[in-house]
Amino acid sequence: MTTSTAIAAALSVLGDASSITVLTGAGMSAESGVPTFRDVQTGLWAKYDPMTLATPEAWQENPALVWAWYQRRRAMLTAVEPNAGHRALATWAQSADVRVVTQNVDDLHERAESSDVVHVHGSLFACRCDTCGREHDAEVTDPESDRLSPPGCECGGLVRPGVVWFGEMLPKNAFAEATIRAEACDVFILVGTSGVVYPAAGLPHIARGAGATIVEINPDETDLSDACDITIRSTAAVALPALVDSLTTNG
């Protein structure tokens, strides 16, 4: 199926859909130039393995080191902007029931003005206390060293990044809501996700079991491609604006 044929097929099912759920992955943010682990591990961070910093054990052992690394990541994210794919989803949701679930820990969907985004892997910008769980607004700073003491909470705990670390469970409320959105939609769209990280990668199977049509937008074949009804071999910043422009112009 050519890209144009796939887009036409997607437009056909989307035009009749009452509810659409979109699951976005790393490929969505990559088009904005979101820094990868490799990008962060330069300069004074070159000597660290990022996999050893993104764990509860690392936080317990050296919170100042972990907080400095995550502050560096947060600072780097503020330098990038939402791409045309993020903006297309936000525009689409103004005239249709389009609900976003993301595996990404950045805030690009929100900065593109999407509302009610479900972050199944947490968010770099939703910090919380490591003891009582209270949410905190932590100022973004770019540390000058590899140690930066995290803010304290009124309960005596420390403010930690709001992401899901290796070895941690997904936020229950977030994944429960993601499951509800998968079960309730007519069309489930996968955008820029490799389909290898579970349980999030199981959401399209849940949607398919509930009768939804599965559409994939990805320039590369993924582990979920065989489970998709329509596959658009393109990027988010190209395919999503094309779909949304057609739907909002003709709808």
How many CB atoms are located within 10 Å of the residue 207 CB? Answer: 26
Over the chain, what is the mean pLDDT? 94
Separation between Cα atoms, residue 231 and residue 208, nearest integer Å: 15
Dihedral, CA atoms, 167, 224, 25, 113, nearest 10 degrees? Answer: -130
pLDDT range class, residue 251, cuts 50, 70, 90: low
Question: What tokens does 217 get?
Answer: 């937008």
Residue 236 pLDDT more than 80?
Answer: yes
CATH dotted code for 1-33+81-121+169-251: 3.40.50.1220
- What backbone phi and psi angles, to 5 degrees, belong to 245? -60, -45
Task: For residue range 21-51, list pLDDT tens digits in order.
Answer: 999 999 999 999 998 777 788 887 889 988 8
Q: What is the pLDDT, as a whole number, of residue 25?
A: 94
CA–CA gap between residue 248 and residue 251 (Å, rounded): 5
Q: How confident is the model at residue 206 (pLDDT cuts 50, 70, 90)?
A: very high
44: DSSP letter? G
Strand partners, 128: 135, 160
d(CA 58, CA 5): 49
Per-residue pLDDT at 103 exceeds 60: yes
> Among this protein's residues, is 121 annotated catalytic?
yes
Give me the percent of the chain exceeding a pLDDT of 70: 99
The mean per-residue pLDDT over the stretch 65-86 comes to 95
Token pair of 22 as six digits: 């979109």
pLDDT confidence tier of residue 52, bands split at 50, 70 and 90: confident
Q: Is the omega angle on the peptide bond into residue 241 within 30 degrees of 0, that is, cis?
A: no
CA-based nearest residue to 69, from 167, 157, 161: 161
Rg (CA), the chain: 19
The tens digit of pLDDT for each residue in 158-203 reads: 999 999 999 899 888 999 999 999 999 999 999 999 888 889 999 9
Per-residue pLDDT band for 91 (boundaries 50, 70, 90) equals very high
* CA 142 vs CA 69, 77, 147, 214: distances in Å: 9, 11, 11, 41
Which residue among the candidates 86, 121, 136, 205 is catalytic per the annotation? 121
Domain boundaries, the chain: 1-33+81-121+169-251, 35-79+142-163
